[in-house]
Amino acid sequence: MLNGRKKARLDLDKGVDIDRISWIEAEVTIDGVKRNAKGKVKVFYQDQPVLCKNCQVSHVGKCPEKIKEEELLKVYEEERANNTKTMIIMDSQGRCMNEHALNAKTHVASGAKIGHIGNVMQYTDLDDFDNIILNVGLNNINAHPDTKHEDWIKQVKCEVTHLASQVNKCASEDKEVRIFEIADCPMSQMTQNSKSQRLSINEELKGMVDKINEKVGKNNVKMIKHGTDDLTEEEAFSDGKHFSPVRTAKLVEQMENSLNPGTKLIVKDRPKNVLLTTSKFYSQVYSTYRFGCGECTRLGHSHDICQVFKSSANSKGVKRAASLGTSPEAKKIS
């Protein structure tokens, strides 16, 4: 006890276990007034039976049902890994996906621009994959009014060229590549400038796809429009740029439909506790590092020595328009 004067006796020879949580009650005198005080006591000892929250039965050690479930998941994961032939590379719009529900591996890079996605492809072994799915471009939108369109579009073209080299390599190896255009999320519709930039990026990506197909002589690279559905903006987006789990589930279904017939992206017979999406961000995807400079996306330097950054509005102490549209600058723009 706190004052060191109280004693408690525990009889351990009665053949009865002690509950993990017990309540004790004592009569105490506070300021000359006798009162009943009640407190919670936690008791821990080896081989103590505990009421399991999973199966609602008291037992010693790890839950047998949990052990059984983990064994089933282990077998399921091994089988899923053997069937994985698709690589999904996305920016943070893929943060609610659950890789364990897919015959795919995921690389989700928060804040990634087009050039960053190209960098991820460059440093990822794609030999064992038949399908590559990309979601790119949203983070290239810069709605700040001081942004010079000529400099901005030049940078976008540079990043698209870098991405094209990686996509062209995949197409030449007979891989199916699907590139999702920028969705019309609230952030991309925030200003007239952001609207036009979204269209410009989608046009650059579409032009890249056409050139690669013509060069390779095949049609295995395709541009995919985000599907329209009956979800409201509040249901489809958790904020100004990120898909909600509900909208993410629809996106995954669209990914599967965009691939060649017979290609199964979603595991149909997965365990009941393996859901298609999760509300705990980045918990069920591989959260990869955003390789390259945050401004120009090139490797080997940072903002401090980036010439693109020094010539931009950002270098003058003006923050890039917030993705969520909540900063004072973004509110003023909108």
Each residue's pLDDT tens digit, 183-195 = 999 999 988 999 9
Distance CA 75, CA 252 (A): 24
295 token code pair? 């401004």
List Cβ neighbours of 211 (8 Å cut-off, separation of 6 or more): 164
**Domain region containing 290:** 85-316
pLDDT of the residue at 323:
42
Number of helices (H), then strands (E), belonging to the chain: the values are: 8, 9
- Same-domain check for residues 140 and 218: yes
- Same-domain check for residues 66 and 108: no
For position 229, which CATH number holds? 3.40.50.1110
Residue 327 lies in a domain: no
Residue 325 lies in a domain: no
Domain limit, last residue, from 60, 82, 104: 82
- Same-domain check for residues 141 and 173: yes
pLDDT of the residue at 186:
93
Helices 192-216 & 149-172, crossing angle to 10 degrees? Answer: 30
- Same-domain check for residues 261 and 275: yes
pLDDT of the residue at 311:
65
The sign of the torsion formed by the CA atoms of 278, 281, 283, 287 equals positive
Q: pLDDT of 150-194, one tens digit each?
A: 999 999 999 999 999 999 999 999 999 999 999 999 999 988 999
Predicted confidence band of residue 316 (pLDDT cuts 50, 70, 90) = low
- Same-domain check for residues 73 and 94: no
- Same-domain check for residues 62 and 111: no
Phi, psi dihedrals of residue 226, rounded to the nearest 5°? -65, 135
Number of domains in the chain: 2
- Same-domain check for residues 210 and 173: yes
Q: Is the pLDDT of residue 240 over 50?
A: yes
Radius of gyration of the chain (CA): 28
pLDDT of the residue at 312:
65
| More confident site: 306 or 325 | 306
How many C-beta atoms lie closer than 10 Å to residue 110's C-beta?
18
